[in-house]
Amino acid sequence: MWDGSPESVNVYKGLECKHGDLLKTEETMWRQRCRSMWLKEGVKNSKFFHEKEKQRGKANSIKKLKDDRGVWWHRRDRVERVLIDHFTSLFATSNPSRIEKTCMVVKDRLSSDHVDWCNRIFSMADVKEAIDQMHPLKAPGPDGLPAIFFQKYWHIVGSDVGTLALDILNEGKSLECVNRTFVVLIPKCKNPSSPSQFRPISLCNVIMKIVTKTH
């Protein structure tokens, strides 16, 4: 369809720009999937990145697990059940007693200056500082938004985000509205075979991260 006319030239340039944008988007997607945070420049959409992503996916896949009775489970739903049963029992309360005596051990360990500092009111500057300290492209929580979104558009969303965080920190507002998380299992060893060989990490949303960092 090329005839060398000015219209064809303009169409070609437009398609060339669109092609470049699509390639950039694809490179960004692969860079995020491979989690190579240390590589900032260079050829991104390369064989290295594809192999890195395959390697990461293979290392993170759990095909079978052994339960507490030594029975191996292979199907995805059964593997999930083994993990849920293990961590549910692990994080359940053990109903400890004599809490008062335990607290007496650490009584008066803080100076008056430390107490005053811990009791101070959180400010919007504290919330903004917590946002800026977050890695911009680490895995987001259930809200699907990485920290870079809030860092870049703080002038738009900062008032709402900061107000919610301060209501939780200073006014005791319930965390129920934002208390949602993904739990990621990090292998403690190569080729883990049981739930006890994983370390759970919570990928909470940004508000939860702010509360954690400011505290």
pLDDT tens-digit map of 106-127 = 777 788 888 888 888 999 999 9
pTM of the model: 0.57
Separation CA 211–CA 99 (nearest Å): 26
Distance CA 207, CA 165 (A): 6
Residue 10 has pLDDT above 60, yes or no: yes
**Nearby residues of 35 by Cβ (< 8 Å), 6 or more positions away:** 56
Q: What is the pLDDT of residue 49?
A: 64
Coil/strand/helix, residue 204: strand
pLDDT at 95 over 50: yes
Residues 70 and 179: beta-carbon distance below 8 Å? no
**Domain segments of the chain as ranges:** 6-60, 62-110, 121-215
Q: Give the list of residues 6+ apart from residue 58 with CB closer than 8 angstroms, or none.
A: none
pLDDT at 124: 93
Closest CA to 86 of 189, 176, 179, 192: 192
Q: In the predicted model, is pLDDT for residue 39 greater than 60?
A: no
Average confidence score pLDDT of the chain: 80
> Among residues of the chain, what percentage have pLDDT more than 70?
82
